[in-house]
Structure 1
Amino acid sequence: MSSTALLLATSVAVTALVSVAFLLYKNELGRACDAAGRGSLVANTDAGPIEYAQKGGAGIPLISIHGAGGGFDQGLANAAELVDEGFRIISPSRFGYLRTPVPRDASPAAQADAHAALLSHLNISHAIVLGVSAGARSAVELALRHPNRVTALVLISPGTFSPTSPVSVDASRGSKFTLWLVNHGADFAWWTLEKIAPSVLIRFVGVRPELVSASPKVEQDRVMNVVRAIEPLSLRFSGINIDSSPDLRELPLGKIAAPTLIISARDDGFNTLPAADFAASKIRNAKLIIYDTGGHLLVGHQEAVRTAVRSFLAAAGSAAYDLQPKSD
């Protein structure tokens, strides 16, 4: 075969391969978009339109506040991992995620007011508050700005304020490139990395890839489910941009009266341990659990975390769950 014919054959093969990959991507992206558009409602609250979903209508109210790259779907998944069926889960999409628009003021304080407005819209006077990662910022603000609404506060890998060592994105070249993709809503690039270089995305979500590869398959699957759940980026990157440039400042955490549980890991790729330490030192009677390993997703500790959260809520329960309805 001549060099020209070989070059032509190679070009045809590459083109065919790219075409098949793109068709597969479009099919999977379509399914992701469909999934992100199902199972939620948009409430017209005093704070503007807020997308949300509910699960377990007769249980104890728990508002699940998702982290970066999330939406109502991530909030539901977070709650499902941690609590049993005895809870009424309310899971909002924060500002810029899925069908919740970005208001003029997208600060954690404004987001907390939006959480309270959603609870009012649903005629819920008070609830347990679960804040994960960047969702811990508005969870803390909710406990400060609307204390009578918060019966207990759970902060997992909290992306909150630290005076000594701020929360940050992994500084590796791969993570910087991935952040660029995220900020540009690059759905195809994210999907491609998931297929050919998942370790880049695993590191981007705050976990050491070698920790995941050494973990049981159930944990590997859980981490990759988190990675896949960020798709489609194009419906989430406005919120990710807000979370990537947080306006974090010291808050009067000593005023938080709700029973509080805080959990983090020393090797969290987003460096949430200093923030967790600081919050626990300021919030009265806060309980702090620290794992030596696990990364941002607390890999290898899911059963221990689940047990800790359920035991904490049970201990806080008799006082918290029997509260009479109160206004702010």
Structure 2
Amino acid sequence: MAGWGWLHEYEVSAFGPTQTSYHSESFLRCAQRSDATVSENWRIRSVEIQGRKTAYRVVGGESGHPLVLLHAFGSNSGTWTRIATDLADAGFRVIAIDLPGHGRSDWLERYSLASMEDALRLALDQLGLHQFDLIGHSLGGHLALRIAARFPNRVGRLVVEAAPVPPRNEAEVETMAREGPQPSLWRSIRLLGFKRLIRIVLLRQFDLRASSPILSELKNPMPDWWLGLDKISSQCLVVASPNDGLISSRAKHLTARLRNAQLKLLGTGHHLHTNYREAFLEVLIPFLRPSCRGEAYLPERKTDG
């Protein structure tokens, strides 16, 4: 088993009995756009809340429907760079936030999943984001579920990519231990890459102190988190690859618990939105379409015959 590969990225597969292609000519042009277009507007901004800075990036027109992106543990908002313009051209105003202790956001005195959730909530309020769609990758996916449970009337469509799903009780802790390796600091360093870890730590773009408390929480029972899932009213898309260890095997349990959720399996590994960008967009944009304000780059569904 590959275990908890949640410091890397994912792939995407098909859902349901048929596989429908969404490749239109305009959509492919959008997906093949150069990164230079993104860099023109995709700059770091920040808001200061209670003396602490939260960094974020924005791309897309002011009239676009807000779409918030949350990155993985040890990553930053730059992970969304290539996909950001695709989503902006599909009619969204994309806001990618650096989690506390990541990227250009300030570090916390103490880390926990609750403190990270609170920091995100304050940032969303400060940015005036009262109604938005939400995408989270890995740890960002776990936090996205927390936000959707806490503010069910604020989150429209919810996309959870390769998110760690904690155990409900001690019995599940034992089951998960048999299925694959559990979260640990050493495993996280190995998956992130030692050279990359050294670089981001030296640049102060990742607070290594976050590792131990966050990893410990995710491998221990979270009965209250599971109960909170019942409060989520959003339409939810759970995306995972079939070979991401515990991430893959736990995705079906998460999907079954959510009221309005579907599971899409695609690609391989943990970084789907980057390594399988076009396939990810094929699944993502039709799911988000009801919220979309612009039609210029939306893929057209092919019909039989």
> TM-score, normalised to structure 2's length?
0.65
Pairwise mapping of residues 119-130 of structure 1 onto structure 2 (< 5 A)? 119-130=124-135
Contact 2:107/2:207 (CA < 8 Å) preserved in 1? no
Q: Which residue of 2 aligns with 1:159?
A: 164
Aligned match of 1:257: 233
Question: Which residue of 148, 154, 160 corresponds with 1:143?
Answer: 148
**Partner in structure 2 of residue 102 of structure 1:** 107
What displacement does 1:81 show?
6.1
1:170 Cα deviation from its structure 2 partner: 9.0
How is 1:300-319 mapped onto 2 (pairs within 5 angstroms)?
A: 301-315=276-290
Equivalent-residue separation in structure 2 for 1:243 and 1:135 (angstroms): 16
Aligned partner of 2:26 in structure 1 is: none
Structure 1 pair 307/295, CA: closer, same or farther in 2 (3 Å)? same
2:32 match:
none
Query: How far, CA to CA, are the matches of 1:258 and 1:46 in structure 2?
Result: 30
Structure 1 position 97, deviation (Å) = 0.7
Contact 1:69 1:240 in 2 (8 A): no
Tell me, yes or no, if the aligned pair for 1:129 and 1:151 is still in contact at 8 Å. Answer: yes
Superposed CA offset, 1:103-124 (max 9, x none): 2453223322322222221222
Secondary structure of the residue aligned to 1:247 is helix
Deviations 1:34-80 (A, max 9, x none): x9xx9212211259421111111421101100012211212444545
1:116–1:146 contact (8 Å) kept in structure 2: no
Q: Are 2:217 and 1:241 equivalent residues in the alignment?
A: no
Determine which structure has the larger helix proportion and give its number: 1
- 1:85 CA displacement: 4.0
Look up the match of 1:50: 54
What letter is aligned with 1:235? Answer: Q
The equivalent residue for 1:225 is none
TM-score (norm 1): 0.61
Amino acid at match of 1:286: A
Distance 2:188 2:119 in 1: 31
Partner residue in 2 for 1:190: none
Pairwise CA distance, 1:160: 2.8
Is the alpha carbon distance of 1:186 and 1:310 closer, same or farther for their aligned partners in structure 2, counting shifts above 3 Å? same
C-alpha displacement at 1:88, in angstroms? 0.8
Asked if the contact 1:134–1:160 (Cα under 8 Å) also holds between the matched residues in 2, the reply is no
Q: In 1, distance between residues paired with 2:247 and 2:83?
A: 18
Letter in 1 for 2:58: Q
Give the Cα–Cα distance (whole angstroms) in 2 for the partners of residues 233 and 113 of structure 1: 25
Q: Mark the structure with the bigger radius of gyration.
A: 1
Q: 1:106 and 1:231 mapped to 2: Cα distance? A: 16
Matches within 5 A, 1:72-87: 72-77=77-82, 79-80=84-85, 84-87=89-92
Deviation, 1:300, is: 7.0
Between the aligned residues of both structures, percent identity stands at: 25
Question: Following superposition of structure 1 onto structure 2, how do residues 1-328 of structure 1 map, counting pairs within 5 Å?
Answer: 39-45=43-49, 48-58=52-62, 59-77=64-82, 79-80=84-85, 84-162=89-167, 163=172, 164-165=175-176, 178=190, 182=194, 185-187=197-199, 234-238=204-208, 241=211, 245-248=215-218, 249-250=222-223, 251=225, 252=227, 253-268=229-244, 271-291=246-266, 293-298=267-272, 301-315=276-290
